[in-house]
Amino acid sequence: MAVTKIKKITKKTAPKKITKKTAPKKITKKTAPKKITKKTAPKKITKKTAPKKITKSLRNKIICISHKEDNDGISSAALIRQAFGGDAILVDYPGQMEALQQVVTDEKLKSLFICDLGLSKKTQDEFIDILTTLRKNKISVTYIDHHDIDPNVVKALQKIKVKVIHDINECTTVQVYNAYKSKLNDHASFVATCAAITDYMEDRPLGSKLLQMYDRQFALISATVLTYNIVGRQREPDYLLYLVEELSESKFPHDIPNTYEFAQIQVEKLSQMIAKVKKGLKTMSNLGHMEILDAGASGAVNFVMGLSGKDVGVAYKERVDHGIYAVSVRGSKNCKVHLGRIVNILATDLGGSGGGHDKACGAVVPKAKIKKFITELNKKIK
Ligand SMILES: [Mn+2]
């Protein structure tokens, strides 16, 4: 039943996607001619001797690479779009570096924003290398994030004049809002509020001020419905881009067609997940863990932690095509260790990658190493 319902909703929104996507294109077209007009003039002046200058002068593209798996990533991309225009590329952690390698080859790229994508021991060096190449090509690069980061990485990025906006105490969207408020409309504060709620950061200095502007229950239901639409539609990249557009155009989640109906389907699935976790859950001395087969690991991990009675929960799902497990880790309020840092080191040692926050993080672990990952994590969190 649920499956057919999803299909129906997808079909209903599809035509709307097409109609709405033409609007932003207009914006791109509006800005593009201006630049072309200005830049075609020097072409004539410099004549045919300087093809390199022509290539440079054609750089007019703005791209935002952002995290696709949660509200904070999607909403960061939406606010960047409202402030600067341009296109979003939405990625998960395994796809993060691939996307960066691709934009390096884009000869039209002028300005790049990277949002809500934390770095790990495994990825940080390559990240710096790619951004160095971009800076050599005079591309403006802004990195906005709130995940735990090696201070040496920040120094290296500042050295190559990447604009780094980084605060572990506010979610990425709130930081985007705070940095570019003057270019954003009033509704952007609501988009940021919902992102803060989803990232458990609505109690932080800026996040709490934003939440105060709105009715708490209204913000909570909006953030939650949006989150369920994002989490439940990870395999529909066009839908996620459509959400970025709708949010950048100041739509409330309830004004986006079928979002509440879709959320209803998701809560039904989640209630089934509770029953599955109760059956399949395994425990060790310091953590509960479970392999997830038919849903995302991140949707199950809170149940794994909660129902295990332990202070740490681990849920993992095989990505058959990648030969890896996507792992989600959560800690309770009683968990005193920094899970993001422990997981970063452990996953890297096992040939994967990972990291994140003190009580919520993730990892990519080679298929053969998942047992080792769990037993080692259990030892390290006493
Ligand atoms: Mn975030």
- Is 263-380 assigned to CATH 3.30.2350.10? no
- Is 2-257 assigned to CATH 3.40.30? no
Query: How far is ligand 1, taken at its centre, from the CA of residue 68, in Å?
Result: 10
pLDDT on residue 275? 94
Domains 2-257 and 263-380 share a fold: no
Query: How far is ligand 1, taken at its centre, from the CA of residue 166, in Å?
Result: 11
Helix H or strand E encompassing 166: strand 163-166
Q: Where are the domains of the chain?
A: 2-257, 263-380
- For residue 345, give every residue at least 6 positions away whose Cβ sits within 8 Å of its Cβ, in sequence order, or none: 121
Query: How far is ligand 1, taken at its centre, from the CA of residue 35, in Å?
Result: 34
- Cα–Cα–Cα angle for 288, 146, 65, nearest 5°? 105
Per-residue pLDDT of the chain (382 residues; tens, 9 = 90+): 333 334 334 433 444 444 444 444 444 444 444 444 444 444 444 444 445 555 445 889 999 999 999 999 999 999 999 999 999 999 998 889 999 999 999 999 999 999 999 999 889 999 999 999 999 999 999 999 999 999 999 999 999 999 999 999 999 999 999 999 999 999 999 999 999 999 999 999 999 999 999 999 999 999 999 999 999 999 999 999 999 999 999 999 999 999 999 999 999 999 999 999 999 999 999 999 999 998 788 889 999 999 999 999 999 999 888 899 999 999 999 999 999 999 999 999 999 999 888 999 999 999 999 999 999 999 999 8
The predicted model scores a pTM of 0.80
Q: What are the CA-CA distances from residue 342 to residues 102, 269, 329, 360, 362 (Å)?
A: 31, 31, 11, 11, 11
295-317 pLDDT tens trace: 788 889 999 999 999 999 999 99
Residues with CB under 5 A from ligand 1 (ion): 72, 116, 171-172, 199
